[in-house]
Each structure stands twice: as C-alpha cells, then as structure tokens.
Amino acid sequence: MNRLGIDLGGTNVAAGIVNDAGEVLYRYSAKTDTKSERSVVGSLSKAVSSLLEMSGISADEISVGVACPGTVNSVRGVVEYSANLPLCGTDVAGMLSSETGVDVSRIYMANDADAAALGEYRAGAGRGAHDFLMITIGTGVGGGYISDGKILTGRNHSAGELGHTVIVYGGEPCGCGRRGCAEKYCSATALVRLTKAAVAECERRGVKTLMTEIAEADGKFSGRTAFRAADRGDEAGAAVVDEYISYLSCALTNYINIFQPEVLAVGGGVSNEGERLLEPLRNRIYGEMYNKRQPESFYTKICRAELGGNAGVVGAAMLGL
Amino acid sequence: MNRLGIDLGGTNVAAGIVNDAGEVLYRYSAKTDTKSERSVVGSLSKAVSSLLEMSGISADEISVGVACPGTVNSVRGVVEYSANLPLCGTDVAGMLSSETGVDVSRIYMANDADAAALGEYRAGAGRGAHDFLMITIGTGVGGGYISDGKILTGRNHSAGELGHTVIVYGGEPCGCGRRGCAEKYCSATALVRLTKAAVAECERRGVKTLMTEIAEADGKFSGRTAFRAADRGDEAGAAVVDEYISYLSCALTNYINIFQPEVLAVGGGVSNEGERLLEPLRNRIYGEMYNKRQPESFYTKICRAELGGNAGVVGAAMLGL
C-alpha cells in the first residue's frame, strides 16, 4: 500500500507520499483555507488529488493519514476540537473519503504532535526504540509518547500535553489557564522572554551585553540571541542560557521519571542548537533523574529529532502501519 | 490456575491466595527477614509453603506473584535495586522457584506501586477501565499507570515515579536529590509539615488553633490534624487543608494532562478523608485541566482506591493474568 501523509496546520497544508523508510517521494504544500469546516476539508482533498495526480497512484491504492492540531478522535476519524481551525466534532475522515474516493477504512487521523512523534519513532530519532518520547520546542512545548508502536492518546484523545504540566507552582500565567506550566519556561517564546528580561536588566544597571547587538543584527530577539552571545563570552547571555537549560532539564527530568523512555528526542527551533543545548542538558538530567544510580546503559538516550519539518507528514503517512 | 500474591515490604511480608474477583481466600503475614538476600527470599518461600499448606494446593497448581519495592525487572524476574531490602541484581524468581518447587515460568514480579495499581485495575477502583492511574499518598507519593492491562514500566523498569516530578522549581529538597518534587508537597509527610508550620505561626502570632488540641488528643500531628480542625471551623486548619489541596490538585492535574486516564484512584492514608478530600480536589482539577472544555463524560473519573492494604497482594496475584 502507498502512503500519503498530510500535516494540516492553521496556516499551511504540507503533504507527501512517503515510502516505508520515511522518505518523502512526492511533496505538496499550500495555504490552508480556514474559512469554514468544509473549506478546511477542501484543502485536504486538494492535497490528496494533487499528490495522486503527481504520482499516478489511484485512490484505491493508497492510505491517507491526517495530522491535525487539537483533540483528534483517531478511532472515529473526528476532530473533536481545534483552537486554530474551524473544526469541532467534524467527521474529517468521512468528508475526505466522499470528496476523494479513498475508502474511509484507509483514512487515519491523529493529533499533530502525536503524528510527529510517530514519524520520528518509525523513521527518525526513535527508529528501533521500544518506547520513545518526543518533545517539540517551538512557540509552545508539545509532547508525544509512543510505546510498542502505540501512541498514548488517553481515553479522551487529549493525553500527552506535557507542556501543560506545572513546574513553577504559582508562576507565569499560561494560555491554558494554569500558572507555571513547563511551556512558559521551556518554549522558544519563554527563552525570548528570559533574553529580553536580561537585556532590560543590563540596561538598567548600565552594563553592556552582546545580546543587544546580536538581536539588532538579526532584526529581532530570538531563541538564538542568548546562545550566540554566550558563545562569544557574554556573561549575561551565558546566564540566560544557563537559566533556560535549568528549566528545560527540570521539565525533561520530570518526563523521564514518569516514562523512562528508551529515547527522548528534542525537536523544534531550539533543537537547532544541537549539542550546544543537548550536552549541558544531558549533564543536568543524568545527574538529577530518579534512576541516576543505574548503569548508564539503562539511561534514556537524549538526542535531537531528525526529521525536522517533515516529521508531521511522515508520521501521518505512517498512521496506517 | 490458582493465584498466590506476595507483597514484600521492608518490614512485613503479606501474602494471600486470591480468586479471579480479587478476594483474598487465604491470608499470610509475617515479619520480613532482612538479614541477607537469601533470608529475604526465605521469607518469600515461607509465605508460599504456608499458603500451599493452608489451602491444600500443590506447587504445580499455582502461579506466584511478588510485589517488591525498588527497581524490579519483571521480564527477568530480578530485583535490580531496592533501597529498603538487601536485594541488588537478585534473581528472586529463580531462587524462589528452587526453594518452593513452583516452576519459574509461573513466578511473576513487579514493583510494589505497580502491583498495587494492577490490583485496583483488576479488582478495585479501576475495574472495567481501559486506562487507569493510581496515586498512593503515604510517607511518599507513588504512582502506577496501566493501559490495556499493561503496566507502564519504561525500558529500565523505573518508570512511574510520579512523586518525583518537580512542581515547585527550586523548592523543598527531596530525598531523590531534586528540589520541589510533588512528594515534598503532596505526601502525608508534607501535610504534617504544613500543619506544624501553621501551628508554629499561630503560636508566634499568639492565635489559638484547634490543631494544637487535636494533635495533643491524638498524641501526635498527623495527616488528619488539619482536616479535623477545619471541620470544626478552625481558620488556620482550613488554610492548611486549602494549601495542601492546592498542591495536590496541581500534581494530579499534571498527571491528567499527561495521561488522561479513564480513572484516577487516590490511595494511601490521606485518601481515608474520602469525599472531604476528593470533592474540593475534583473542583480544582476539573477547572484547571487542559481538556476542561470537553463534555464532562470525557473527564477522568477521580475516586478513592478500594482495596486498601490488600492492593499489593491482590495485584501481585494478578500479575500472571
């Protein structure tokens, strides 16, 4: 069976036909038409028909997987709720089947973070692992846990909201309504907040920091500002990196103490720092986790996600496996 | 097949022959002989032989499950490490088989918190649930997660240390080496600490609190001191209960956002407060969890564990199911 994966986002639809090794053979990308429920499904149909035409594959020779932000009932093929798309109790699988001619039994759906985790598990950083945890650090902090090929969805398809676990009791207010969520301290957004606060503090004290000129050269403060300043010996920048890694290692140690996965992969923009981020992170986590006295061969392998922006498409395509 | 379960503790060995409904038909209890690895296994053998004699069942008609504190390799039948028992890389299943004549293929082992969770899942508060989370609140905070009949053990048999997840970044130092673990704010020990601190503060300010006289009548400060004072209108007692429930709901909301189990059962001494604890806990959690806007039928059911001190024996007996 050929596999087609769609990563449905609030802005873009990315899709592809993917082989069993997780390579994207044909690729499609377009803006999401977010006017209505029907137009969103129309965006999906267009991705399917375009890819079938590109590849010369017919609708009865393919399985289709859709990764979607929000609460996705993978059993019924229904998007229960999505904050960024006009889908609510929408039978996406049924509607997509009627529009494309792909039998509904070959249409699979999952939450987008879960699909990305599955992509890495099947064809990326989690390949060969029995159990695998993926943390995506972007605007927010997303999580996906897979054991023995099965995604942890919970009974209500809302599980794995690892970014919405409190690590700072009574801390920063979070969009989810709680205070002190991991997302408010470990996301790229949080790193930028820490960076700006440190720069403001430097200004207040009349101390120079390279962060200011790096942000000016880049045109903005970003997740890399403090890292680049620290690399060039800037003390305030190094302190921001340290503080950020301290929060992130706190959250990741929590997840390891809960899941003890064979592999934990870190994805998203901040993971582009590579070993610059991962090495100090490992040092802290391995010194702090509950099983630190076990032989090192028992430790969770902590690495960078491998598929980058393709993880959603690849994982969606693999949903039918 | 008849089922025998043993709950091996640092002080006592409790054991029983358990039927499929989770009823303990024959019961055995004795002190654990903790002198050596061999003497601990001897304590287990004695439990098996005594129960076989009591029941008239022979060694080839029974399966034996052992629940043990520490890191238990359930696949190899080996206790990798236990803080409270002289077991380290000990082939408990093999040794117990040679001593009792029960074939090693019918000896099962698990971590004690996991076994207790399995007992509740099969025959207690989690009966009939697809996925189930059990939190035991005692000296510490233990956790066990079961989905589709399978215990979450992680690749290294150390998973499910839910008490050792930080909720107060930089908070109280914990025995595990971290700071601010849920265990330091949600255990019965933590509740007693909060109670004593509030009483000391009342004394400092020259304010009377019923907590003092309740503790005197009980002979000690305990997990019930603040609850009983609050029940009688004591403001300082009510504030302690409120603070404790705020921490506990924070931790439990974290676990729900991660697992979204069908049922979450609270066990251990503090759960004896029943609805006095559970009702305000539910109110907070249901108002705070990530999926609070889903229909209520999707909410995790939060209830009290049912098997009390029997959960370990029952769960151990069910390991072979």
* Per-residue model confidence (pLDDT) at position A83: 77
Judged by a CB distance cut-off of 8 A, whether residue B257 touches chain A is yes
Q: Is the CB of B258 less than 8 angstroms away from the CB of A159? A: yes
Q: By three-state DSSP, how is residue B77 classified?
A: coil
* Per-residue model confidence (pLDDT) at position B116: 95
Mean pLDDT, range B289-315, rounded to an integer: 94
* Per-residue model confidence (pLDDT) at position A155: 87
Strand pairing category for A263-267 and A301-304: parallel
Same domain for A183 and A245? Answer: yes
Query: Does the pLDDT of residue B83 top 80, yes or no?
Result: no
Q: What residues make up the domain containing A211?
A: 131-305
Residue type, A175: G
pLDDT in tens, B169-187: 999 999 999 999 999 999 9
In B214-253, the residues whose Cβ lies within 8 Å of chain A are 247, 250, 253
Judged by a CB distance cut-off of 8 A, whether residue A76 touches chain B is no
DSSP states of B6-60: EEE-SSEEEEEEE-TTS-EEEEEEEE---SSHHHHHHHHHHHHHHHHHHHT--GG
Same domain for A53 and A148? Answer: no
Average pLDDT, chain B: 96
Q: Cα–Cα distance between A28 and A6 in angstroms, integer?
A: 9
Q: Is the CB of B259 less than 8 angstroms away from the CB of A166? A: no
The model's confidence at residue B273, banded by pLDDT at 50, 70 and 90, is very high
Of A152, A169, A254, the CB nearest to B250: A169
Same domain for B158 and B48? Answer: no
Mean pLDDT, range A268-290, rounded to an integer: 96
* Per-residue model confidence (pLDDT) at position A174: 95
Same domain for A148 and A205? Answer: yes
Same domain for B244 and B290? Answer: yes
pLDDT in tens, B225-265: 999 999 999 999 999 999 999 999 999 999 999 999 999 99
Residue in A260, A289, A302 to test binding to B, most B beta-carbons within 10 Å: A260
pLDDT > 90: percent of chain B: 93
Same domain for B145 and B256? Answer: yes
Judged by a CB distance cut-off of 8 A, whether residue A114 touches chain B is no
Same domain for A109 and A157? Answer: no
- Which burial class, exposed, middle or buried, applies to A87 when counting CB atoms under 10 A from its CB (0-12, 13-18, 19+)? buried
Q: Which residues of A touch B140 (CB under 8 A)?
A: none
User: Which of A120-124, A163-167, A290-294, B268-272 is least confident?
Assistant: A290-294
In A189-218, the residues whose Cβ lies within 8 Å of chain B are none
Chain A residue closest in CA terms to B262 = A155
Sign of the Cα torsion A183, A186, A187, A190 reads: positive
Alpha helices by DSSP H, B154-234? 183-186, 188-205, 210-218, 225-231
The model's confidence at residue B1, banded by pLDDT at 50, 70 and 90, is confident
CATH of the domain at B283: 3.30.420.40
Judged by a CB distance cut-off of 8 A, whether residue A284 touches chain B is no
Same domain for A64 and A142? Answer: no
Q: By three-state DSSP, how is residue A138 classified?
A: coil
How many other CB atoms are found less than 10 A from the CB of residue B216?
A: 11
pTM for the predicted model, two decimal places: 0.94
Q: Cα–Cα distance between B165 and B182 in angstroms, integer?
A: 6
pLDDT in tens, B97-151: 999 999 999 999 999 999 999 999 999 999 999 999 999 999 899 999 999 999 9
The model's confidence at residue A2, banded by pLDDT at 50, 70 and 90, is very high
Average pLDDT, chain A: 96
H or E element that contains A13? strand A12-18
Distance from CA of A78 to the nearest CA of B (A): 14
A175 phi, psi to nearest 5 deg: -60, -25
Same domain for B34 and B143? Answer: no
Query: Does the pLDDT of residue B50 top 90, yes or no?
Result: yes
Same domain for A154 and A192? Answer: yes
DSSP states of B105-160: GGEEEEEHHHHHHHHHHHHSTTTT-SEEEEEEESSSEEEEEEETTEE---TTS---
Nearest to B6 by CA among B37, B23, B28, B25: B28
ipTM surpasses 0.90: yes
DSSP A89: S
pLDDT > 70: percent of chain B: 100
The model's confidence at residue B215, banded by pLDDT at 50, 70 and 90, is very high
Q: Cα–Cα distance between B193 and B191 in angstroms, integer?
A: 5
Q: Is the CB of B298 less than 8 angstroms away from the CB of A156? A: yes
In A25-64, the residues whose Cβ lies within 8 Å of chain B are none
Judged by a CB distance cut-off of 8 A, whether residue A262 touches chain B is yes
Q: Which residues of A touch B262 (CB under 8 A)?
A: 155
Judged by a CB distance cut-off of 8 A, whether residue A169 touches chain B is yes
Of B81, B159, B261, the CB nearest to A259: B159
Dihedral in degrees, nearest 10, Cα atoms B193, B195, B196, B201: 120
Q: Cα–Cα distance between A146 and A218 in angstroms, integer?
A: 37
pLDDT in tens, B107-121: 999 999 999 999 999
Chain B residue closest in CA terms to A142 = B258
Same domain for A136 and A87? Answer: no
Q: How many domains, chain B?
A: 2
B231 phi, psi to nearest 5 deg: -60, -30
Same domain for A87 and A228? Answer: no
* Per-residue model confidence (pLDDT) at position B294: 86
